[in-house]
């Protein structure tokens, strides 16, 4: 499940090969993959052909390429739950569930996604340079590593929802998903059901979120449910998970069995002793 560290890793792999190259083919094998949640109009994919890749950036869990061919375009890729971007040799057989193929001067990028929660979209880049095209519907939350202490506190202060739910809300912070929310809450000693956290606890949570994401980016992400980067390499951060996927196993700090419960429609993993409400 690609969250910020996984998407960051994929973004680096895409950047390394696509930057400065022209988009020479844009094949949509499953046209309904080219969509936006609202009804905003998207660009005609063929309008992007011949455009040179000027930027490859990550925003939350989104990957955004900026291209130029007289016009200026933004191309969004979201990996959803099971999405994978994989470099392939020209003409290499597509694996099952390949929904789109982007070719950059002959370097083929295959977009696979068995569960089909991912999507692709393209729109004219906004005038004046900054930000993303509204049609791409990119969550407006803060980048977790860019939000300062005061911004972070202001985001979560006064919210009534369990902190785990708030952490997953991409309109507040964008890029934190189920794995890293659980890991950060454990490190901060905060129970996922805790509400209305004090300033001191929110500051501790901010440090934990930053630490977990930074370590995970350095490890190339977490390889569960088959995640691979664009060069087919796994990440290694799952070996350092302290609560996620460890239900029933002893807490690494106090030995109490790690518990799991559903919160906000997602499974939360936590130590009932180390993490306080």
Partner DNA sequence: ATGCTACCCTGGCAGC
Partner DNA sequence: TGCTGCCAGGGTAGCA
- The residues annotated with a catalytic role in the active site are 2-3, 61, 266
CB of 267 to DNA, least distance (A): 4
Residue 152's SS3 state is helix
Query: Of 51 and 208, which has the nearer Cβ to DNA?
Result: 208
Query: Of 104 and 142, which has the nearer Cβ to DNA?
Result: 142
Our CA angle for 58, 63, 64, nearest 5°, is 90
Query: Of 44 and 160, which has the nearer Cβ to DNA?
Result: 160
CB of 71 to DNA, least distance (A): 25
Residue whose C-alpha is closest to residue 173's, from 79, 59, 270, 276: 59
Our CA angle for 129, 102, 141, nearest 5°, is 40
Tell me the residue length of the chain.
277
Query: Of 210 and 266, which has the nearer Cβ to DNA?
Result: 266
Q: Is 159 exposed, middle or buried (0-12, 13-18, 19+ CB in 10 A)?
A: middle
CB of 90 to DNA, least distance (A): 25
Cβ atoms of residues 246 and 258 within 8 Å:
yes
Cβ atoms of residues 69 and 89 within 8 Å:
no
Count of C-beta atoms within a 10 Å radius of residue 199: 12
Residue 218's SS3 state is helix
Tokens at 212, concatenated: 């977990």
CB of 50 to DNA, least distance (A): 29
Our CA angle for 49, 66, 43, nearest 5°, is 50
CB of 93 to DNA, least distance (A): 16
- Chain contacts with DNA (rule: CB under 7 A): 1-3, 37-38, 60-62, 78, 80-82, 96-97, 114-117, 137, 139, 159-162, 165-166, 168-170, 177-179, 226, 260, 262, 264-267
Residue whose C-alpha is closest to residue 177's, from 96, 90, 83: 83
Query: Of 82 and 103, which has the nearer Cβ to DNA?
Result: 82
């Amino acid at each position: 499940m690609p969250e910020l560290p996984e998407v960051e890793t994929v973004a680096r792999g895409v950047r390394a090969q696509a930057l400065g190259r022209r988009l020479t083919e844009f094949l949509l094998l499953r046209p309904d993959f080219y969509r936006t949640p609202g009804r905003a109009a998207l660009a005609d994919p063929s309008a992007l052909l011949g455009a040179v890749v000027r930027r490859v950036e990550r925003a939350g869990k989104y990957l955004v390429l900026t291209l130029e061919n007289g016009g200026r375009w933004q191309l969004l890729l979201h990996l959803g739950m099971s999405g994978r971007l994989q470099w392939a040799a020209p003409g290499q057989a597509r694996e099952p569930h390949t929904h789109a193929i982007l070719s950059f001067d002959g370097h083929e990028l295959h977009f696979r996604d068995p569960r089909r929660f991912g999507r692709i979209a393209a729109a004219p880049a906004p005038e004046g340079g900054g930000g993303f095209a509204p049609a791409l519907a990119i969550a407006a939350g803060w980048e977790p590593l860019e939000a300062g202490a005061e911004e972070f506190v202001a985001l979560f202060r006064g919210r009534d929802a369990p902190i785990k739910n708030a952490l997953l809300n991409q309109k507040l912070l964008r890029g934190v998903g189920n794995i890293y929310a659980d890991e950060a809450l454990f490190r901060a000693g905060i129970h996922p059901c805790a509400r209305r956290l004090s300033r001191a606890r929110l500051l501790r949570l901010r440090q934990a979120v930053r630490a977990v994401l930074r370590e995970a980016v350095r490890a190339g992400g977490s390889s569960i449910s088959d995640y691979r980067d664009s060069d087919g390499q796994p990440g290694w951060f799952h070996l350092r998970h302290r609560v996620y996927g460890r239900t029933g196993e002893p807490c690494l700090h106090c030995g109490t069995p790690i518990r799991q419960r559903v919160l906000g429609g997602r499974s939360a993993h936590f130590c009932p002793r180390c993490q306080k409400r």
